[in-house]
Amino acid sequence: MRFKGSEAYVSTDDLTLAVNAAITLQRPLLVKGEPGTGKTMLAVEVAKALGLPLLEWHIKSTTKAQQGLYEYDAVSRLRDSQLGDPRVHEIRNYIVKGMLWQAFTSETPVVLLIDEIDKADIEFPNDLLRELDRMEFFVYETKELVKATQRPIVFITSNNEKELPDAFLRRCFFHYIRFPDKETMEKIVDVHFPGLKKSLLR
Q: Where are the domains of the chain?
A: 13-37+59-64+99-177
Query: Which pairing describes strands 95-97 and 144-147: parallel, antiparallel, or unpaired?
Result: unpaired
The phi, psi pair for 106, rounded to 5°, reads -65, 140
Q: List, as one string, the DSSP characters of 15-82.
A: HHHHHHHHHHHT--EEEEE-TTSSHHHHHHHHHHHHT--EEEEE--TT--HHHHHEEE-HHHHHHHHH
pLDDT along the chain (202 residues), means of 10: 80 92 96 90 95 97 97 92 85 95 96 97 94 96 95 95 91 86 56 54 54
Q: Write the pLDDT tens digit of every residue in 37-72.
A: 889 999 999 999 999 999 999 999 999 999 999 999
Residue 89 is given by DSSP the state: G
pLDDT value at residue 190? 57
pLDDT value at residue 125? 95
Residue 88 is given by DSSP the state: G
Q: What is the 3-state secondary structure (H, E, C) of 5-17?
A: CECCECCCHHHHH
pLDDT value at residue 7? 78
Give the architecture (CATH level 2) of 13-37+59-64+99-177. Answer: 3-Layer(aba) Sandwich (3.40)
The whole-angstrom distance between residue 26's C-alpha and the CA centroid of its chain comes to: 14
Radius of gyration of the chain (CA): 20
The C-alpha atoms of residue 121 and residue 125 are separated, in whole angstroms, by 8
pLDDT value at residue 196? 52
